[in-house]
Structure 1
Amino acid sequence: MSTHIANRTRVLTLIGTIITQFALGSVYTWSLFNAQLADKLSEPVSRVAFSFGILSLALAVASSMAGKMQERFSVRKVTIGAGILLGASLLLTAHATNLILLYVFAGFLIGFADGTGYLMTLSNCVKWFPERKGLISACAIGAYGLGSLGFKFINMYLLEHNGLESTFDVWGVIAMVMVIIGGLMMKDAPKQEISAVEAAEGVRDYSLAESMKCPQFWMLALVFLTVCMSGLYVIGVAKDIGQSYVHLSVEVAASAVAIIAVANLGGRLVLGVLSDKMARTNVIAIALAVCLLGVCALLFAHLNMMVFYFAVACIAFSFGGTITVFPSLVSDFFGLNNLTKNYGVIYLGFGIGSFIGSIVASVFGGFIATFYLMFALLVVSLVIALTIKLPNGESDAQLVANN
């Protein structure tokens, strides 16, 4: 493939990935629908909201399987299939008549469609730009985050003017068309060849089975689970923390949602770009330190509105930055060619982490137990980030210096 054609192909793949990620990010508007779905099904909001927990878990599981599907069918075909399934699932959700159907359509199917497209298209795009992995991750994952913001306004408008079922129908069609268009623009990234310099330094591609035999794989998995548990738990209940724990008014507590959105996006952009300039383990250490600062504020500071905003901003910044940098970090440790599979298994921590925080809070009766668990795991993860070596015994900083 000539350089001109290769550049055109990878730019088109990047644009297609951004369009796809924007549409896939729309699932994070789910909280807009809980109250109306609860009224329609005559069920408590808490039971209806559980569908999003199923969605998060299905998303993580599908992400871990997407690499195999891409190998068999190509990124284009799998992305188009994910788009069709996402649209169909949203149309089916519009007509769910009981909780079980809601859990199947809105939880399992939407989550599976979203996860299939999310990690595979992100990893494929990163492989096209090995020299700009952090920046490309920031563009793709930033689009995913902006999708939740953009579709928030679209879905709020539709809910206000068209009603619940029509909103799901229109949302389904828009998201499906965007993912299909994005998929048509993508091509599978070429297999990355390891240079003579990298080979001499011991850099190589690890299969999933080989990666899972390395202690570094499980260390990175623990770090990822820690940040996801902290971020997803606090983002999910920020308003409730503000009201019940900090004793703020509903309006002041609800403003945390906007602060989280800005900090989350800021983390993706700042740490994503920074990860192309310095060792990615150091970038993750910065993210963990910022998150630890936020958790310490919630646990040990005298709480008021500004301290609460500062704490949730720190945690959201860290979460956004970590999920942006992690695909590139995993490729540094285990190679680019099997990134979708290797990161796919680590990404299960996203779904598991979202459950652990809520389970600990419900078993031990409140936020404080989860905050202490977050504190302990963040300390352990920070030590890992500062001391972890590549599987060949080199440090991440040495890899950056050599390149």
Structure 2
Amino acid sequence: MKRHLTKPKNWSTLLGTIMAQFALGSVYTWSLFNSPLASKLEEPISQVAFSFGILSLALAIASSLSGKLQDRFGVRNVTLGSGLLLGASLLLASYASNLWMLYLFAGVLVGFADGTGYLMTLSNCVKFFPKHKGLASACAIGAYGLGSLGFKYINMYLLTQFGLEQTFGVWGTIAMVMVIVGGLLMSDAPVKSTSNEQTPVASTPQPASEFTLAQTIKTPQFWMLAVIFLTICMSGLYVIGVAKDIGENYVHLSVATAATSVAVIAVANLGGRLVLGVLSDRVERVKVVTFSVLISLVGVASLLYLDLNSLSFYFAIACIAFSFGGTITVYPSLVSDFFGLENLTKNYGVIYLGFGVGSIAGSIVASLFGGFVPTFYMMLGFLTVSLIFTLIVKQPHHQAVDMNTYGEPAHHHSA
């Protein structure tokens, strides 16, 4: 009876999440604004573009805090707040008259607004579909990816028809309305499944015991999963951010041919989200992540060892983007397999900090050690370690009794 009553909530929450995620994904059109902002502020593009690194870091930090906000205010209220802050901070960004104001408004505030809504709404939505966690994840994160593609055309049109300030205002208004309407459709997932409701749920792996965040971070599995996630994010975000430059300066392609890499990445990224998200409901999720890391490894090795032309370059970056999109889609469900659904937002939130670290790590290595090749070798090393981790990591086990939290996994040799 209870399951029957909550079904409309499942679907309205899924619809609201897709709508909000589409709007939140719009921040990935930021590169369109680098040149106009550089002209307006009379600053180098590289310094203006750094605002996106700050945005990604703020997004990851806010994501890790969003679970606490949801506990206190509920998913609907936090999503409404996220939408209002996103609209206001984009409007403020249009008035930025120097780099520090840009870093504050477009970096810290936009990133915080986006991160607050992104992970919390995704985790909440996944909890409504315990039998189809991968599919629910694919729908939500696919919408986030589609948002970056859809708003690319919206913002390009606005920039050509109106000025920079008006574009920020219209973008902020559209995104704010979509997030607010999406938030109004959402409901909080049930806090705890009772034992007799959990029985019929036949997930691919055995359902995990419920781990609190304090218990989760004491397991070796948590740290292995965190390293894998950081590695994929670092590889994906670095290549996505500088793909055009890699094409021009490393592969020596023409500007137009190198620019096509943006479209190749968008399609591969979305393909990874949909294909691996759906696959993860049919195959054990750790194996899906093993496959994903292997694909990224092939992509990075291709950049280092193949005789690159336009096709082999597109193949290499498509592998990396496919792996990145697929991994961030599968990971919320994977973390829930390992550590339970109840504290998913908090547990995944800490792992998601790897997204923020990864967003700037590749750029720092490139600037310290001189360009693409050292960064590619670092990525190759991390991916090799991550591949080994995916092959040896096993689901942790502990009894429902809290006293048994740490000793039990070692007994089963589950690292």
- 2:172 maps to 172
Taking the aligned partners of 2:84 and 2:199, their CA distance within structure 1 comes to 43
Aligned to 1:147: 147
- 2-structure distance, mates of 1:193, 1:54: 41
TM-superposed deviation, 1:197: 9.2
Distance 1:250 1:203 in 2: 50
Q: C-alpha distance in 1, partners of 2:207/2:345?
A: 21
- Alpha-carbon distance, 1:2 to partner: 3.7
Instruction: Please name the residue that 2:101 is paired with.
Output: 101
Could you tell me which residue of structure 2 aligns to residue 271 of structure 1?
A: 276
Name the counterpart of 1:58.
Answer: 58
Identical counterparts, % of pairs? 68
Paired position in structure 2 for 1:401: none
Corresponding position of 2:352: 347
The reply to whether residue 116 of structure 1 matches residue 116 of structure 2 is: yes
The CA distance in 2 between the partners of 1:36 and 1:192, in whole Å, is 51
Contact 1:229–1:356 (Cα < 8 Å) also in 2: yes
CA distance in 1, matches of 2:290, 2:258: 29
Counterpart position of 1:311: 316
TM-score by length of 1: 0.95
1: CA distance, partners of 2:92 / 2:278: 40
Once the two structures are superposed, residues 129-148 of structure 1 have per-residue CA deviations (whole angstroms, 9 ceiling, x without a partner) of 01100000000000000000
Q: Name the amino acid aligned to 2:193.
A: Q
State how many pairs are aligned. 393
- Further displaced range: 93-102 or 333-342: 93-102
User: Distance between the aligned counterparts of 1:241 and 1:193, measured in 2?
Assistant: 52
Per the normalisation by structure 2, the TM-score is 0.93
Question: Cα deviations across residues 177-216 of structure 1 (Å, max 9, x unaligned)?
Answer: 0000000000000023344699xx7831100000000010
2:207 touches 2:337 (CA, 8 Å); kept in 1? Answer: no
Amino acid of the residue matched to residue 206 of structure 1?
F
CA contact (8 A) 1:26 1:147 kept: yes
Q: In 2 relative to 1, CA 205–246 (structure 1 residues): closer, same or farther, beyond 3 Å? A: same
What is the match of residue 19 of structure 1? 19
What SS class does the counterpart of residue 255 from structure 1 fall into? helix
The alpha carbon displacement at 1:392 in A equals 1.7
5+ residue gaps, structure 1:
396-403
- Cα deviation digits, residues 209-259 of structure 1 (max 9, x gap): 000000100000000000000000000000000111111111111101101
Q: Deviations over 1:328-357 (max 9, x none)?
A: 000000000000000000000001011110
**In the aligned structure 1, how far is the partner of 2:258 from the partner of 2:156?**
20
Residue segments in structure 2 that go unaligned for 5+ positions in a row: 399-407, 410-415
- Deviation, structure 1 residue 303: 1.1
Distance 2:207 2:263 in 1: 45
Secondary structure of 2:30's counterpart equals helix
Greater displacement, 384-393 / 46-55: 384-393
Aligned to 2:392: 387
Question: How well do the aligned residues superpose, as a CA RMSD in angstroms?
Answer: 1.5
Residue 369 (structure 1) aligned with residue 370 (structure 2): no
Distance 1:170 1:58 in 2: 23
Give the match for residue 41 of structure 1.
41
In structure 1, what is the equivalent of residue 331 of structure 2?
A: 326
3-state secondary structure, aligned to 1:33 = helix
Separation in structure 1 between the aligned mates of residue 215 and residue 207 of structure 2, nearest angstrom: 15
Q: 1:193 aligned to 2:194?
A: yes
Partner of 2:413: none
- 2:111, 2:133 → 1: CA distance? 26
298-307 or 223-232, which deviates more: 298-307
Cα distance in 1 between the residues matched to 2:90 and 2:296 = 34
- Residue by residue over 1:299-347, the C-alpha shift from the partner in whole angstroms, topping out at 9 and shown as x without a partner, is 1111111110100000000000000000000000000000000000000
Structure 1 residue runs of 4 or more that deviate by more than 3 Å after TM superposition: 1-4, 193-198
Structure 1 match to 2:219:
214
Asked if 1:251 corresponds to 2:251, the answer is: no
Moved more, 222-231 or 3-12: 3-12
Aligned mates of 2:199, 2:134 — CA distance in 1: 23
Tell me what 1:399 maps to: none
Check the 8 A contact 2:208/2:336 in 1, yes or no. Answer: no
- Taking the aligned partners of 2:251 and 2:18, their CA distance within structure 1 comes to 38
2:257 maps to a residue whose letter is: V
In the alignment, is the contact (CA less than 8 A) between 2:238 and 2:359 conserved in 1? yes
Residue in structure 1 matched with residue 228 of structure 2 by the alignment: 223
